[in-house]
Structure 1
Amino acid sequence: MTLLLALLLAATPSLPDLQQRLAEERAAAQKLAGRESTLLGRLAELERLIELESRALRAAQVRLRAATVRLAESETHAREAETKVAKATEALEPRLFARYKMGREGYLRFLLGSRSIGEVLRRRRIFNALLEADLDALAVLKIEVEGARAARNELAAANAELGQSVQMESDRRASLQQRIDQQKQVLAAVQEEKGVHEQAARELEEAERNLTTRLREIERARLTPGKPLLIAPEIRLEASIRRARGRLSFPVVGGRVEVHFGRTTDPRFGTVTLQHGIDVRAPLGAPVRAVWGGKVVHAGWFKGYGNLLIVDHGRGIFSLMAHLDQLERAVGDGVRAGEEVGTVGDTGSLKGPYLYFELRDRQRPLDPERWLHRARRGPPLLAGTKGGAVR
């Protein structure tokens, strides 16, 4: 138990340090609030605040567990200390009472009852030995009493820390729920209010243009002489991905194509959008796998796409996986077909957890369903279901 407490406390920063660091990060995020007038920008701010509050909640829960362990340890120490005091008192009390009743006169009678000088000396040695033993017992009792007092103080401090940790955990949970509720309100507006829905569609079109620009930059960085390469000069594979049309592995096992490539019309608002990839509905946390071997050229947040992973498969072909929860590869990492590169998430999403998947021939979008293995596409859903074509 002591080792567990030590490990928990060692792995957890002190409460003031933790609060200060989280307060600084929260203040930095709040500074951005209001500056971003776009819908996607507000959602990005809320996602960052939710992540901060989630981290604060996890830290508070760790402190709470550590405080609970410490309280249990302190209660044990207090009980043991009180037991030791009780035993020491029980052993010493009769002797002290007998010595008190004897008094000085009793001591003299004890010595004068001797028949010889030798017996007087012997009785005196015996009495002194008993006196030293009693003094030692008193010293032990004093130590035990002080230990019990320290254990009671430790118990009081542990109770106070537990109360503080409980309050901190409750505050963080309430703050996190507040941010989640704000996010739900924005997402609900996207699905229920036509103006907001159309605004989201316009901003997503702008995000797509920014993504195309990003891919163009990646291409230029690879081809510009003398400039440090973001990726290898050319990815040499056993077979060209261009020869694998119709045979690429599906990115999420069991996922279903919810929105198809091309023009889509939202059934509620009649909003027409141009879909450059496919929406694959899958559970939060489901593994996302590379459809072909290649090298990661982008891994990180991208406005409108959340956590985005881009893999260069060579011969100018790129695959893009967006709204990931976890990114399990970094820029420059090589990947093989079927390897897990992330998990399904809802970062930057307007309709919950799903995978947005694209294939591009340089900057030109390709229909992924013509490249994926037909037997693994999964049954399609109608466009517009659970949010339509709006990502």
Structure 2
Amino acid sequence: MTGLRLLALLILVLLPLTDASASSQPSPKKKLGEIQKQIREETQKVREAARQERSVMAQMDEIDRDLNEKEKELFSIRRRMEESRREYNRLKQEQSGFERKLSEQKKLLSARLRSIYKSNRQGAAQAFFSAPHVQAGMRRLNYLARIADQDRQSIVTYQTMLSRLVVKSEEIEAKRRDLQVLEADVEKAKGAVAGERTRKNALLAQIRKEKKIGEEVILGLREAAQRLKTLMTELPKKRELQPHRGSGFAREKGRLPWPARGKVVGPFGPYKDPELGATFTRNGVEIESTAGTEIKSVHEGVVIFADWFKGFGNLIVLSHGDHYYSLYARLAEIMTAVGQRVSRGHPIGRSGEGGSPRGSLFYFEIRDRTEPLDPLQWLKKTR
């Protein structure tokens, strides 16, 4: 896209070289004013892109803060989950201990009861009456009663503590489950924030790309303005480069020879850039040809540009008089020079490999002043 905008600037600068005497042609001073206006417009675009860049950067700073908060929240939740896990395991171990003691106490009480039962059903009475005197019998009865009561009390105590441990363990397990749900929610929120950061990164990259393009266009405009200022002083010396008027270019519409044999793989007009995904306008045609093929002038004229041009590689511009021009770009070799007059079908360059998977491509335009024309309407139909 940058190359197309800069190429338009080149044409704007070169036009006075050949048609400065035409009454309908804008003066170099007017063209300089147009370029300066474009510089102001592009500068405003770059400033807006810079403002958007600062805005997105501020948003990304907030996103980073949010992500940091989410990370701290997750760390706290995981720490609490680990503490709950340790407490849960401790209570489980304590619960297992009480269960063992309860089981042992039950076994002890069961054995004691079986022993009393086996002695005889009147074991307590026999223990009383077999004593040497009443006081000793009472002590024996009290002793047996205390033992049984202690056994029962131990069982009740163990059962109570075990019940409490079970309740506490259930509470901790419920809390751990709640923390797991909270952790999942925070992870989801973190993922959403990270996704927003990815989208903002993509937006920032696009803004910076547009900003860079704008800066390149501004640079090209300033260079064009400087070249035009120089041209305004050199224009009188260039009169001899103008082709003769009445070269008949307009009458050749539909009858011009092709600059080289090949297939049109990039037609004139709007097209969608596969890399940027945006729609642009092609001001000429891309023609596929064999590497090393001679590129020839489609009509007699004078060479007004023959050099490397950013975005188009080796570029040749011919002026055919009556404000008509033809452009030949992406050439492997330039076989002419500025000021040379060429005839129809004269070799002016060669096509190269071009680095395209479709083969060797070169670019061709026809213009009426600054307006691009569809070359297919000017070239011969039979090929």
**Which of 1 and 2 has higher RCO (CA within 8 Å, sep 6+)?**
2
Which structure has the bigger radius of gyration?
A: 2
* Shared fold per TM-score greater than 0.5: no
**TM-score, with length taken from structure 1:** 0.40
